[in-house]
Amino acid sequence: MSAVIDLLEIEKKAYRDSQQDGLMEVIMGLILMIFGGFFYSPIFAFYILLILFSKKIVESIRRRYTHPRIGFVKFHEENRKDALTGVFLLEFAVIIIIFTLISIFGDVKDFSQWVKWSPLFFGMILVGPFAHAASRSGSIRYTGYAILSVVLGLFFSLIEFGSGCTGLILYLVFIGAFLFLGGLVIFSLFLRKYPLPAEGAPDASE
Amino acid sequence: MPASDPGENDHHPIANIDRLIHEPARLMIVAYLYVVESADFLFLMHQTGLTHGNLSSHMSKLESAGYIEVVKEFINKKPHTMLRLTDAGRDAFQEYRERMMEVLQ
């Protein structure tokens, strides 16, 4: 019986269910929108604070809205060394791809070319967290986000915006808004799917 | 065909199966706790589809066997129960899986 139990699938389901509130999308969208929207603004420092406290913000919202509805689960810590190696390899691969693209379509010494291709650079960097979430959850939702982030990155890199970082700013605001609004919709559906019982969440102590 | 010696079956891998884990509801609970570090009562209820009473009863049996650790605490003045697989529970589940593999192969 147990021999045919797929522990990986059980772990994926537990992870998928723990992320079904859409709050990851909300906070990620917010970070990207602020990064893009306040690119040239002094309020940009606020962005650093948001990144630093994003985990705590999500945890505090989950304590209030998610855990009383579907419960709380703590997963085993991931190997930090493996995670850092993955991030490093992804960034290295992305730089190589962008370098190759600029070599084909322009001059690698021209800084404006790097700015022009920056939406695709960010789009491919975003594949990292989405692919990680997709492999842990087995959810096609994250695969969709990964594809969308690259396709939009390519789209905003190919359009001519004149000067500056307009393409990158528009890309970040657009993908950020998509994730933020999508996350809010998922969150509201989650609240509707799991209404809070009047007598409170069931517990073994009752 | 001669009847087999009753004691002979004791050597068969299935004879040594951990019956406490073998029960389907408890097997689900242990399997879920095996893949996570800890989970609360409500999360396990949702994941396993067990009722409050069923989960409580199986939880007590697993706790008595020393397979799971149950921590009761209060969050915002409300009772909250966290469950975690102990080392003994982890070992028992691994052994159970190995024995079942032997049986099925």
| B74 touches A at CB < 8 Å | no
| B35 touches A at CB < 8 Å | yes
| B72 touches A at CB < 8 Å | yes
Do the domain assignments include residue A199? no
Of all residues in chain B, the percent with pLDDT exceeding 90 is 67
Cβ pairs A/B, distance under 8 A: 99
Confidence (pLDDT) at A197? 77
Arithmetic mean of pLDDT, B65-91: 93
Q: How many structural domains compose chain B?
A: 1
Residue B27 CB burial class (10 angstroms; 0-12, 13-18, ≥19): buried
Arithmetic mean of pLDDT, B95-99: 91
- Which of A1-5, A11-15, A70-74, B13-17 shows the lowest mean pLDDT across its residues? A1-5
Residues in chain B with CB shorter than 8 Å from the CB of A73 are: 36, 38-40, 43
Nearest to B36 among A14, A67, A68 (CB): A14
Do the domain assignments include residue A18? yes
Q: Cα(B88)–Cα(B98) distance, rounded to whole angstroms? A: 15
Do the domain assignments include residue B1? no
Tell me the nearest-neighbour CA distance from B1 into chain A, angstroms: 30
Interface of A with B in 21-80 (CB under 8 A): 67-68, 70-77
Q: Which of B30, B24, B8 is nearest to B94 (CA)?
A: B30
Of all residues in chain A, the percent with pLDDT exceeding 90 is 62
Residue B63 CB burial class (10 angstroms; 0-12, 13-18, ≥19): middle
Do the domain assignments include residue B64? yes
Residue partners of A136: CB distance under 8 A and separation at least 6? A11, A12, A15
Tell me the nearest-neighbour CA distance from A136 into chain B, angstroms: 12
Q: CB neighbours (10 Å) of residue A139? A: 18
* Whether A190 contacts A156, CB under 8 Å: no
Of all residues in chain A, the percent with pLDDT exceeding 70 is 95
**Structural domain of A56:** 11-193
Do the domain assignments include residue B100? yes
Q: Which residue of A has its CA nearest to B98?
A: A3
Do the domain assignments include residue B25? yes
pLDDT at B1 over 50: no
Arithmetic mean of pLDDT, A5-10: 90
Residues in chain B with CB shorter than 8 Å from the CB of A206 are: 52, 79
Do the domain assignments include residue A29? yes
Strand partners, B72: B81
This prediction has a pTM of: 0.85
Do the domain assignments include residue B60? yes
Residues in chain A with CB shorter than 8 Å from the CB of B50 are: none
**Structural domain of B27:** 17-104
Q: How many structural domains compose chain A?
A: 1
Range from A66-80, A174-188, B10-24 that averages highest in pLDDT: A174-188
